[in-house]
Amino acid sequence: MSTQQPPSIDSLRVLHRSDDYIVVDKHWDIRIDSKMWYEKQTVQLQLQHHFPHLADPSTYYGFRFCHQLDFSTSGALCVALNKAAAGRAYRCFKDRTVTKAYLSLLRGWVEHETQTLDFSIGKNSTEGKTHMMCIEGSEGCENPKPCQTELTVLEYGLYDGDPVTKVLLQPLTGRTHQLRVHCSAIGHPIVGDFTYSLGADDSPYRMMLHAYLLHIPLEPQHLCVTAEDPFVPAVDPKWAPQRSPRTLAATVEALLEHRKTKESERGGGRGGGERGKQNKHRKAQEDSEEQRRVCQEWLNEWAGD
């Protein structure tokens, strides 16, 4: 179970380990990696401390991180242990077949228990806010791109006496700060989000956003892990649930079942038997030079080539 203790080199919780991947439960308020010499607490350094024999000296960071989590976000983080594994994971992320779901506590009581948040997000060019993202139409919003998030209410309650809603968030796209910006856009910012409250929400010990579920459809074995829910009274007694429209277990089960249905539909459209194999081979041959170039750039970034 996660605690309110700050991160340390020793505080690395492993959720999954194989010859190709390690999935860790990233602590809140710790960077994944850093080029700055003064950064003493990073996931990169934790991995080097616990698994020095698995570090790849040919890479800049020693480990290939398959995706990113914000500094203030905790939860499931996948690390590839070789270039081939990184390439397979990259393909899943590029094809948007990865399923991710986050737990969060939001300020206020969210009225609509299930909803799709559909706001294009761009870079904020306003002076003093260039480290932030913003929704299309707001002042200083540059190059907004479409993005969607599925929101499902799990519990209503109080946090330190104030109304709060516990939700499951499923990003359907992967824009920077997407969940934080989307929740703020509907008037329910994430509890403890110092940045998007413009410094006002500084009393909680952390930002309440946690990468709970990670499913990567790797072959031949899918990778599916969950990182234990930290938003429970046993961990943070300031959180007092009052009413629960649905359980976390049932919500995640329905989400994964929906994913399996979509996967079956995609598979059915490809044809079966020898014909399906021929179509798959043809599709592989038709991969554009642009796709191969982007893939190689991604690998080179983590490999330090």
What tens digit of pLDDT does each residue of 80-121 get? 999 999 999 999 999 999 999 999 999 999 999 999 999 999
Look at residue 262 in the predicted model and tell me its pLDDT: 82
Look at residue 150 in the predicted model and tell me its pLDDT: 98
| Joined tokens for residue 9 | 């080199």
Specify the CATH number for the domain of residue 173: 3.30.2350.10
β 121-124/133-135 pair status? antiparallel
Q: Cβ distance 42 to 33 under 8 Å?
A: yes
Is residue 73 situated within a structural domain?
A: yes
Look at residue 271 in the predicted model and tell me its pLDDT: 47
pLDDT in tens, the chain (305 residues): 456 888 899 999 999 999 999 999 999 999 999 877 677 889 999 999 999 999 998 888 899 999 999 999 999 999 999 999 999 999 999 999 999 999 999 999 999 999 999 999 999 999 999 999 999 999 999 999 999 999 999 999 999 999 999 999 999 998 999 999 999 999 999 999 999 998 999 999 999 999 999 999 999 999 999 999 999 999 999 999 999 999 999 999 999 999 888 888 877 655 444 544 454 444 444 444 544 555 555 444 433 33
For residue 133, give the nearest of 210, 70, 78, 79 by alpha carbon. 70
Cα–Cα separations (whole angstroms), residue 293 to 128, 235, 282, 286: 35, 46, 19, 14
For residue 192, give the nearest of 71, 72, 27 by alpha carbon. 72
Look at residue 293 in the predicted model and tell me its pLDDT: 53
Encode pLDDT of 6-38 as tens digits: 889 999 999 999 999 999 999 999 999 987 767
Total tally of structural domains belonging to the chain:
1
Q: Cβ distance 81 to 19 under 8 Å?
A: yes
Is residue 273 situated within a structural domain?
A: no
d(CA 118, CA 124): 18
Is residue 98 situated within a structural domain?
A: yes
C-alpha 196: how far from chain center: 18
Q: What residues make up the domain containing 219? A: 13-264
Rg (CA), the chain: 20
- pTM for the model: 0.87
Token pair 């439960």 in the structure block, residue: 25
Q: Cβ distance 96 to 170 under 8 Å?
A: no
Burial status of residue 299 (CB atoms within 10 A of its CB: 0-12, 13-18, 19 or more): middle
Residue ranges of E strands in 110-194: 114-118, 121-124, 133-135, 141-145, 148-159, 162-171
Token pair 């079966």 in the structure block, residue: 272
C-alpha 117: how far from chain center: 17
Catalytic site positions: 70
Is residue 4 situated within a structural domain?
A: no
Q: What is the DSSP letter of 110?
A: -
Is residue 1 situated within a structural domain?
A: no
Is residue 229 situated within a structural domain?
A: yes
3-state secondary structure of 40: coil
Is residue 288 situated within a structural domain?
A: no
Is residue 52 situated within a structural domain?
A: yes
